[in-house]
Amino acid sequence: MSRPFKVKSNDIIIASGLHALYLPILRECYDLSVYLDIDEDLRTYFKVQRDVNKRGYTIERVLDALAKRKPDSEKFIRPQAAFADLIFSLRPIHSSSLANASEQNPPRLKLVVKSRHGFNELSLKRVLIGVCGLHVDMNTNADVSEVEISIDGEANAEDIQMAAQLICPQIFEFLDLQPQWQNGVLGLMQLVTLSHINQALTRRFI
């Protein structure tokens, strides 16, 4: 919606937005592309919580806006998942729990990660189970071109930080800041993304 503006070139450039993977010319520029896929009932819950509690909208207005945007989402947004290297799928552990969830009692979530390039997944699985105490299931497709990991359980920021230091210790040499690790699924997404960034950087030097 804003006017175009120039971004100075840097060692690492992050492009973020609803249409970041829509144009082929953009997709060809990325070393790593990430797509966030949220369960539709969970997406509705999050939007209702934010717009009603923080923006003062009515539930009817929020649901009407979601219904109006659905055709565009199906046409322009969701197909971009096919072009992502890394897909995070955020889902409630029990879909029925959303009915009783609130800001004080948020729903329990699980994270499903799909990678088309692999991401040191065996080591990741070991630390998620051994360090973070999570339940992890891992599957590959027929030609082993995709890896999918389903992660269930509560992880704290300290354990996720330790897991990152075990999986990709070299990556911290490239960071000019100290990561602010998060609890839960956000921290897990940080960990997996960092593992992929480490892999992308490794490819640059091969």
- In terms of phi and psi (left: phi > 0; alpha: psi -120 to 50; beta: otherwise), the region of 47 is alpha
Domain ranges in the chain are 33-107, 118-206
Cβ neighbours of 197 (radius 10 Å): 19
Task: Tell me the CA distances in angstroms from 71 to 74, 76, 134, one per residue in order.
Answer: 5, 9, 37
pLDDT in tens, the chain (206 residues): 789 888 888 877 888 999 999 999 999 999 899 999 999 989 888 898 889 888 888 989 999 999 999 999 999 999 999 999 999 999 988 877 787 777 777 888 899 999 987 667 888 899 999 999 999 999 988 776 789 999 999 999 999 999 999 988 888 877 777 889 999 999 999 999 998 888 887 777 66
- Write phi, then psi, for 176 (nearest 5 degrees): -100, 20
Q: What is d(CA 71, CA 20) in angstroms, rounded to the nearest whole number?
A: 19
pLDDT reported for residue 119: 67
Alpha carbon of residue 189 to chain centroid: 5
The residue among 130, 29, 150 whose CA lies nearest residue 88 is 150
